[in-house]
């Protein structure tokens, strides 16, 4: 893997498998709810709620932590700890704002192509592990209760299901600064909806509501505003007894319309090459989007961050 520091995959004693699944990392935490057989992972980023290297490292560590717990349970002859995995955010109004644009701008100006490729590879390794449900017998779900932009949207697309609140803002603003979303958007969207609709969504730069994307077939379950968590829990409760059927359906989907890690890595390299072609005018637009995000986080700007790049 392409990480700045080794992934800390805790060693979990078999006798303590269930209890030890609860864990806190610097930028996220994991909580097992035994009654619903669901594992909840909540992003709590220390800085900007984007896919910084620090957050991605914690996602990798969390994924290894979960797979270790399942392996320990299997080795001890125990029932698997959970049937469902839910990824959510603790940041009010924000799921994730996407790639670390400030970092991208710095690396592009420094002509540091290798760092961009490395960042992208770290991102898609985590995204691909989501896509294959960690190679575990679980159904995965992204719970989107606010803005999911760029890489935040790509991250949500990598799960089996997207549950989103009606007014959540979701989209791919990269085209506004002459870029392409390179961490899985094309791969996942072209499998959820047809190629033409996927390309139209990518090239428009438009930010959609979850309600609009639900009508397009991108969002799987639409929740009323403020009721995302209740809706996710209700979905798990209603489908828990038929988990085996749902699990097999998503496994079949991945076999028929799967996305390989090699495909994701290849597109990252195209993305990094395209990034090196950006001019100063494009980088200034990227910088304005970063500034809009900063104002939003300071509570001085309204949602709809992509407008700043126009």
- Residue 1 is predicted with a pLDDT of 35
- Residue 125 is predicted with a pLDDT of 97
Q: Torsion-angle region of residue 58: left (phi > 0), alpha (psi -120 to 50) or beta?
A: alpha
Structure tokens belonging to residue 59:
């996602």
Task: Give the model confidence (pLDDT) of 264-295 as tens digits.
Answer: 999 999 999 999 999 999 999 999 988 888 88
- Residue 11 is predicted with a pLDDT of 38
The yes-or-no verdict on residue 210 having pLDDT over 90 is: yes
Task: Give the model confidence (pLDDT) of 79-108 as tens digits.
Answer: 999 999 999 999 999 999 999 999 999 999
Q: Rounded distance, CA 108 to CA 268, Å?
A: 15
Q: Rounded distance, CA 78 to CA 56, Å?
A: 30
In the three-class reduction of DSSP (H, G, I as helix; E, B as strand; rest coil), residue 46 is classed as coil
Location of structure tokens 């390989």? 260
Q: Torsion-angle region of residue 134: left (phi > 0), alpha (psi -120 to 50) or beta?
A: left
Task: Give the model confidence (pLDDT) of 160-199 as tens digits.
Answer: 999 999 999 999 999 999 999 999 999 999 999 999 999 9
Location of structure tokens 């990518």? 202
The pTM for the full model equals 0.89
With bands split at pLDDT 50, 70 and 90, how would you rate the model's confidence at 122? very high
43-54: average pLDDT: 92
Q: Rounded distance, CA 168 to CA 153, Å?
A: 11
Following CA atoms 298, 299, 300, 304 in sequence, which dihedral angle do they give, to the nearest 10 degrees? Answer: 110
Q: Rounded distance, CA 185 to CA 156, Å?
A: 10
- Residue 9 is predicted with a pLDDT of 42
Instruction: Transcribe 71-137 into DSSP letters.
Output: HHHHHTTPPPS-SEEEEEE-STTEEE--B-HHHHHHHHHTT-HHHHHHHHHHHHHHHHHHHTGGGSS
């Amino acid at each position: 893997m392409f990480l700045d520091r080794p992934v800390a995959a805790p060693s979990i004693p078999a006798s303590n498998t269930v209890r030890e699944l609860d864990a806190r990392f610097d930028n996220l935490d994991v909580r097992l709810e035994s009654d619903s057989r669901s594992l909840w992972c909540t992003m709590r980023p220390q800085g900007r709620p984007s896919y910084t290297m620090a957050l991605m490292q914690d996602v990798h560590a969390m994924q290894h932590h979960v797979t270790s717990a399942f392996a320990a349970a299997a080795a001890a002859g125990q029932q698997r700890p959970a049937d469902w995995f839910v990824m959510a955010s603790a940041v009010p109004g924000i799921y994730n704002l996407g790639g670390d644009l400030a970092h991208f701008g710095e690396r592009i100006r420094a002509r540091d192509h290798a760092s961009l490729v490395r960042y992208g590879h770290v991102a898609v390794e985590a995204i691909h592990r989501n896509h294959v449900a960690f190679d575990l017998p679980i159904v995965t779900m992204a719970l989107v209760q606010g803005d999911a932009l760029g890489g935040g949207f790509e991250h949500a697309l990598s799960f089996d299901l997207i549950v989103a609140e009606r007014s959540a803002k979701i989209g791919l603003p990269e085209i506004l600064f002459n870029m392409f979303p390179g961490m899985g958007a094309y791969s996942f969207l072209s499998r959820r909806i047809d190629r033409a609709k996927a390309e139209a969504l990518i090239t428009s730069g438009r930010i959609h509501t979850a309600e609009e994307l639900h009508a397009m077939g991108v969002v799987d379950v639409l929740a009323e505003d403020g009721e995302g968590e209740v809706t996710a829990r209700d979905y798990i409760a209603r489908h828990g007894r038929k988990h085996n059927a749902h699990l097999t359906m998503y496994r079949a989907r991945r076999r028929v319309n799967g996305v390989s890690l090699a495909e994701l890595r290849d597109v990252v390299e195209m993305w990094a090459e395209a990034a090196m072609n950006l001019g100063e005018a494009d980088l200034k637009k990227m910088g304005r989007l970063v500034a809009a995000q900063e104002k939003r986080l300071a509570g001085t700007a309204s949602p709809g961050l992509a407008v700043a790049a126009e």
